[in-house]
A = this chain, B = another copy of it.
Amino acid sequence: MVKQTVGVIGATGYAGAELVRLLAQHPAVEIVKIGVRSTTTEDYLSQIYPGLSCKLPALTSLESSFSQCQYVFLALPHGISMGYVPRLLAEGCRVIDLGADFRFPNPSIYADTYEMEHQAPELLAQAVYGLPEYFREQIGQTDVVGNPGCYPTAILLGIKPLLDKDLIEKKGIIVDAKSGATGAGRGLSQDRLFTELNDNFRAYKVVGHRHGNEICFYAGKELEITFSPHLLPLQRGILATSYLTLSPGVGVEEVARAYQAAYSKEPFVQVHSQGVLPELRWVVGSNNCQIGYAYDPKIRRLIVVSVIDNLIKGAAGQAIQNFNIMAGLPETMGLPQLAPVV
């Protein structure tokens, strides 16, 4: 099979390393370059992730040329990617950024959300939000994909079909989201110690989490939403419980139809029948999003539960799904469609 030459920038965090793992096993990919911010030993990656027991290219600096790569993935903190993408494009690479720098088409929203000026605003018009279920066609044609955040992926897939058909009210939406600890990354801090997180559970940034803006922007409507993340004592997975109200005159059977219309042909989205609510482990380890819902007719309350693996569908897997689309490959290639049973 013809291999696409691929580079990865920023491979030491969990999302970046998981990306390397999936790319290394992708049948149509050859990883030809891996750049990291602080180059250490050449085999640093397999030192910190000894499960990556395969031959990888030696680590190089971010400053070196990536012109031999047809595609480059960036897995860097927000604010860093935008410094490298213009040069990568100039070198002829097509780019998938797992960070936040190319998610918004509009530099002012970026500035409001991330409290810094965008350094490559001229690229934003061509950048596409990498949620394939909604932007597949544009993804195929662009050279810059902004891969969605993990929470927005889970939540938008869960509620967007209902919003698009005006089945639910736009005010009073509550999203109570729960994420595994890998969502917080590999950075050292006291509150990420095993002894502080294990046997524990907490809310954080219940007002003003940045992903709230991303959700609102791509919901496509003027929403009044409360988005409150919580931290679970487990490795991977996001479960979002969205509390919605059916619009006047709408029946719950229209919910099923809207999901069916939106996702029946999607390879990575499964919707359960009313009353069956997906659990985290039904998707962890796969690129799937599963969605379920329950309904309380007395108060017209619709409760939607959506689950993903934050490192796969919420990061590395979705990035590869976008790459497959860009490269004209089968969209599921190299991606786990089934979750480990336990």
Contacts and interface: CB of A to CB of B under 8 A. Distances in A.
A261 interface: no
Interface stretch (A36-44, A60-68, A297-305): A297-305
Task: Pick the most buried of A50, A172, A174, A303: most chain B CB atoms within 10 A of its CB.
Answer: A50
Interface of A: 14, 17-18, 21, 24-25, 49-54, 172, 174, 176, 178, 181-182, 186, 188-190, 192-204, 206-208, 224, 226, 228, 230, 232-237, 239, 241, 243, 270, 272, 277-286, 288, 290, 294-296, 299, 301, 303, 305, 311, 336-342
Contact of A340 (B51, B232, B303): B51
Contact of A188 (B50, B190, B286, B342): B190
A279 B231 CA distance: 10
Task: Pick the most buried of A51, A174, A181: most chain B CB atoms within 10 A of its CB.
Answer: A51
A295 B206 CA distance: 9
Given A18-B340, A338-B24, A203 B50 contact: no
Given A54-B338, A226-B299, A281 B199 contact: yes
Given A186-B193, A226-B299, 7 more contacts: A18-B341, A178-B178, A182-B342, A200-B279, A203-B303, A207-B296, A235-B342
A340 B286 CA distance: 11
A188 B188 contact: yes
A103 to B, nearest CB: 22
A88 to B, nearest CB: 24
Contacts of A193: 186, 188, 192-194
A21 B338 contact: yes
A284 B341 contact: no
A226 B243 contact: yes
Contacts of A54: 337-338
Task: Pick the most buried of A14, A190, A193: most chain B CB atoms within 10 A of its CB.
Answer: A193
Given A182-B195, A207-B295, A295-B207, A25 B190 contact: no
B206 A303 contact: yes
B51 A281 contact: yes
Given A51-B286, A198-B233, A338-B25, A189 B190 contact: no
A277 B206 contact: yes
A49 B236 CA distance: 18
A279 B341 CA distance: 22
Contact of A281 (B200, B207, B277): B200
Nearest to A24: B338
Nearest to A20: B341
Nearest to A48: B190
Given A53-B270, A228-B241, A195 B192 contact: yes
